[in-house]
Homo-oligomer: A and B are copies of this chain.
Amino acid sequence: MPEHTAASRLRLSGLCFFLQVLNILLFAVFVRYSPESSPGQCPPQLNCSQRNQDSGFQQPRFQDVHIQVLLSFGLLVAFLSRYGPGSAVISILIIAFAIQWAVLIQGFFYFFLNGKIYVGAQSMVSADFCTTAVLISTGAVLGRANPVQMLLLALLEVTLCTLNEYILLSLMGVSDSGRSLTVHTFGAYFGLMVSRVLYQPHKDKRKREKRQDMGHQTDVFAVIGTIYLWIFWPSFTSATTVHDNANNWAVLNTYFSLVASTVATFILSPVLYEESTPRMVQIQDATLAGMAVMGMAGEMLVTPFGALIAGFLVGLISPLGFRFFTPVLHSRLKIQDTCGVHNIHGLPGILGALLGTLLTLMATADTYGDRLELVFPLVAQGSRTVTDQVLIQLGALPLTLLLATLGGWLTGSVLKTKVLRCSPDAQYEENTVFSEVAEEGCDPRASEKELGISTVV
């Protein structure tokens, strides 16, 4: 059906055109450079007061954030490595759109003053975080959503993710600097819910046989992705912490957590699978999980051995989830999780939030010193007790899960409407670039287990 294909090609083209022109118009009306030199940079509704109070150090501080924007972006794009060169094309499109859209939406929530959004380095960091959540959700539906659906998913998720973040960080005063909740947990469960709504039982059974010869390619990307993560993620985790001692803790904790979770993979993999060493893509998963668990707790008093234990446990839980939980997810709950985001981001994010809540109990001036002002400003100022803070941190978890699943259900329902529904299979039959999406980058064994297929000819 070449007419059909041409029509669908032009639909993506047209949607991109429409969205880009919309972005340009909205930017023209609303977005201005942030006047950093003036003291009114930070709008009063954002609790960034403690971050700028050291005005003498503002200059290096900005430069610090600026480098971290660039570096943390490396992380974002490292997700691509996971999904292979075919899917990278789609991911780049999502990133390019989501960053613009996130600057706008986050601007309305955080940087809106006198009818204008003032963008600066901080906006770019926030936009990067938000785009990460979208990329995580994408991993759950990869291969079962066409590019048009992906773009609309990004459009809706950026909005809902920002809403969740605004409620948690600004209204409730939750401390979640490395975004265990607002990025990892939200992104994973949002994506899983979308995957549930888009579920089509008799799909994806064909083109599995092509996968075998992709194995080596996948390993190359997994090596590169793991390298990026080891280099850049500690920056990512600490991007929004102030560059004081707290920053230091966040980097050290993340570092210790990831080495422990990597070793844990070597312990479980020979037991679960009949291979002596894990595949590279499993190590990348362990790296991601070990870092996701340090999201909220990173800047808190984890202590070095606490970080080792947390990383070790999450490094054991993640492969167990791939082996035992993903098949159950698929067969019982009808949720296909293409890249296993539930094991890599969902579970570690929840564990990270619980760990962070636990560590909030210890947030006293004795243990934290000056750091208390930075990690829990409301507690340090005396306007909130430690118990209140613990309850709020704890309450943020079910709230995030609720918003993520509701948002995912809503988004999935929109994506399922007839005009968008034509699946990638029917539509891009001969398009090898897109059909590679489902084949590469995701752990082959996990997907096979998940789909209950070993070799289909």
The interface of chain A, by Cβ under 8 A from chain B, is 5-6, 8-10, 12-13, 16-17, 19-20, 23-25, 27-28, 31-33, 36-37, 57, 59-60, 62-64, 66-67, 69-71, 73-74, 77-78, 80-81, 85-86, 88-90, 92-93, 95-97, 99-100, 103, 119-121, 124, 147, 216-217, 219-224, 226-228, 230-232, 234-235, 243, 245, 247-249, 251-252, 255-256, 258-260, 262-264, 266-271, 274-280, 283, 303-305, 308-309, 312, 369-370, 427-428, 431, 433-434
Contact (Cβ within 8 A) B305 A28: yes
Contacts of A434 in B (CB 8 A): 276-277
| Given A276-B431, A428-B276, A74-B243 contact (CB < 8 Å) | no
Distance A226 CA – B85 CA, assembled complex (angstroms): 11
Distance A23 CA – B263 CA, assembled complex (angstroms): 11
Contacts of A258 in B (CB 8 A): 96
Contact (Cβ within 8 A) A268 B13: yes
Q: Which of B63, B86, B305 contacts A24 (CB 8 A)?
A: B305
Contacts of A13 in B (CB 8 A): 266-271
Contact (Cβ within 8 A) B93 A275: no
A-B residue pairs in contact (CB < 8 Å), sample of 20: A12-B270, A13-B269, A20-B264, A24-B305, A28-B305, A31-B303, A70-B232, A77-B226, A77-B231, A85-B219, A85-B280, A86-B219, A89-B280, A90-B277, A96-B258, A97-B263, A100-B259, A100-B260, A119-B304, A121-B251
Contact (Cβ within 8 A) B64 A235: no
Q: Which of B219, B222, B227, B262 contacts A93 (CB 8 A)?
A: B262
Residue among A73, A80, A93, A277 with most chain B CB within 10 A? A277
Other A-B contacts than A69-B251, A92-B283, 19 sampled, CB-CB below 8 A, are A10-B270, A12-B266, A33-B248, A36-B248, A63-B64, A73-B230, A78-B227, A80-B223, A85-B220, A85-B222, A88-B219, A88-B223, A89-B283, A92-B226, A93-B277, A97-B259, A217-B220, A221-B223, A275-B431
Residue among A92, A95, A312 with most chain B CB within 10 A? A92
Distance A19 CA – B308 CA, assembled complex (angstroms): 12
Chain A contact surface mostly: helix
| Given A32-B304, A308-B100, A89-B278 contact (CB < 8 Å) | yes
Distance A99 CA – B254 CA, assembled complex (angstroms): 13
Distance A427 CA – B275 CA, assembled complex (angstroms): 12
Contact (Cβ within 8 A) B63 A243: yes
Contacts of A23 in B (CB 8 A): 260, 308
| Given A96-B263, A308-B27, A308-B100, A251-B66 contact (CB < 8 Å) | yes
